[in-house]
Amino acid sequence: MKILGDPIFAKNPDGTLKSRIGTLFFRTPGLVTVRGVHAMQRIAWTRELNRMRAEEGRPELTEAEAMAEWNDSADLLFTDDCVYIRPSPGRIDLAFKADEVLQTLVSKRRIRFLNTRSAEVRDALRARGENWRMSRSPQSAEEIVNAIKSARVAISHESIYYYNGHTGTRWLTVGSFETVSALGGDAFRAQMAEIAHGLGALNRLGQTEVALFPPSLDAEVTRAMRALKPEEMDDASLRAAVAAVATKWRMALPAALREETTDNFEWRAEMNATLSAVPNATEVGDQELIQGISPEFYRQIEWLPGGRMENGELIFDSVLDEAKRTQEPALLELCDHRVRSMLFNFVRLVGTLEYANIGRIPRSLARRPLANARRGDVYILQCKEKDAKPRAYIVRFQKWGVAEHLDEGKDMLRSIFEANDYADYILDRRLACRQLGMNLPHHLFCGQFAERYSGRNQYDGAHVRANYYVRAYISGVASDKIPPERFRNPAFALGFARLMGRAAAIDLVVGRAATETGQSLFDTNYEVLQCGPDGLPRGLVVTDHAGSFVKYREPFHELVAPYANVVRRREKFVGDFAAFAKAYVQAFEQGLADAQTAYRANRRAFDELFLHRPFDEAGSGAFRWCSILRRLDECNPAEVADLLRKEIQK
């Protein structure tokens, strides 16, 4: 391929790039990097082709031939680290041709696509299994909160704005705007004049100096704000107009964004996305990659290279080969070997697969994760089969597998046996929880593959089996992530209380708690609330039965206290706390009574469920099951509910 100009990333003596743009031609393969604009580069390419044709004794390109050269090309932009491809409208194929060519010149990691917010570009990359080339880098909850707090700035007066350093825009929220009304006369007028000026001014980047949050806000609110003329209005008129705009603004906000706090997952996610937005974005958010995903996943998915499907054949991403060849640590971290194995398994089992993207969830999504919680064993799978809609699945690796037992110093055979026993224990507990009434996802699929073990004993380097479990992604919002604003609606609060009360009863019955600490797991991440078209609760799904059977010996009166926190920590958000607590306790009592009735009505179905499993009073699954059933049978639901009621009233 002929290069007209300097190589990509070529620099001047002062370290600056010699060229920041390029044009890649495909009809006659070539790359032009001469300085100028893209139109000038196309002209330069035509001249070069005519010069070459003259040397060969051929006539110059006709106008139609020259236009064909121009049309079969792609625009590039260069930075110190990356090459950006700018897709042409309706010709995404040219962008991918450019991608293939550029990979022969630079690492695929350094090639990015502009306009990824375009559905055409985004969908095309997703269909190639390349979400990883669009995703934003994951951030911890603490990092997001600190970024928002540090973005709070002033211009000349009060610190009422949130500053985006990439665009220079200062974002004003309705909560901050409402605080302006509390300012004294001169301060109030000066602040309003500053806001009015900022809304109508552009900074050096061509961006608005001040904008109203969120970016999706109804344009009518912004127009109403711009219509305010502080210099032409007296104090009373100005304050009345400000109050009217604030009311209009607040009414235009989605309910989930009305509580301006970083404890509100939806507000936090929206604000962080606004503050991290950049012009000509090459990254998109998780909600754009997976439609309908919960806000708790914002900036928590690290999409990883996998492969793409072409005519039913799996082609692994070329960056995986680069990682193997270079052994670069950062690239090896990106190219997770488990992704390749999972994708390979999936293609072997599903013959109608069109695409699949796999991401890693590097940290717990619980509001208050356990200090010693395991990380890196949860993935998200997005895939599409022929003639079907895209679907999302959660993949969770077995907590105690062969590798973990080897790490304890056990021999290979014992490690294999114990890992297999634990796999059975996981599925047995799932069956038991369902039989007692826990609303778990309907389907669970198991998978396994061999991976190299790296450990401290004699088996280092051996290949051992890794087990994982796949379930459908459950749409909705985890109970601990529901925006506080929602509880101000009495119908929502009561519906939530009833669903959570019933779920709490089953949670108590199966003795769910963290294995290491004994800490209650209820209302920490696993309970997903689903709402109907009216926005009111209609169902609740427990996404994982993790921690079940941990508390199987203790009587209920020793376990009930933590369940009071479900209503107590929401007390300040509900209007009628007494009714809220009453609905919760009544549903709890009814759920416990129903579980007891179901057991007593058909004891054999419960008592003999695990007769084929080993029975060991030291704590086998079958023994724990018998202990749980005995405790349920002997309890008085009304007395347990009364204990819960008293805990709430403390």
pTM: 0.82
Query: What's the pLDDT score for residue 580?
Result: 97
Calpha distance 467→435 (Å, rounded) = 24
**Would the pLDDT of 371 be above 80?**
no
| Neighbour-count burial of 562, counting CB atoms closer than 10 A to its CB (0-12 exposed, 13-18 middle, 19+ buried) | middle
What are the helix (H) ranges across 253-355? Answer: 265-276, 286-289, 318-326, 329-334, 337-349
Q: How confident is the model at residue 231 (pLDDT cuts 50, 70, 90)?
A: confident
Q: How confident is the model at residue 375 (pLDDT cuts 50, 70, 90)?
A: very low
Q: Does domain 477-649 sit in CATH 1.10.1070?
A: yes
Cβ–Cβ contacts within 10 Å for residue 82, how many?
15
Q: How confident is the model at residue 366 (pLDDT cuts 50, 70, 90)?
A: low
183-222 residue pLDDT tens: 988 899 999 999 999 999 988 778 899 999 999 999 999 9
Domain boundary assignment for the chain:
2-114, 141-276, 286-472, 477-649
Q: How confident is the model at residue 280 (pLDDT cuts 50, 70, 90)?
A: low
**Would the pLDDT of 317 be above 60?**
yes
Could you say which DSSP state residue 91 is in?
B
**Would the pLDDT of 380 be above 60?**
yes
Decide: 164 and 275 in contact? Cβ < 8 Å. Answer: yes
505-531 residue pLDDT tens: 999 999 999 998 999 999 998 999 999
**Would the pLDDT of 31 be above 90?**
yes
Query: What's the pLDDT score for residue 244?
Result: 94
Query: For 298, what's the count of Cα atoms within 13 Å in the CB-facing half-sphere?
Result: 21
Could you give phi then psi for residue 229, rounded to 5 degrees? -125, 85
Most confident by average pLDDT, 288-292, 309-313, 448-452: 448-452
Mean pLDDT of 62-72: 95
Decide: 648 and 568 in contact? Cβ < 8 Å. Answer: yes
Q: Structure tokens of 472? A: 């459908």
Mean pLDDT of 100-106: 94
The residues near 245 (Cβ < 8 Å, ≥ 6 apart) are 177, 221, 224, 225, 228
Q: How confident is the model at residue 134 (pLDDT cuts 50, 70, 90)?
A: confident
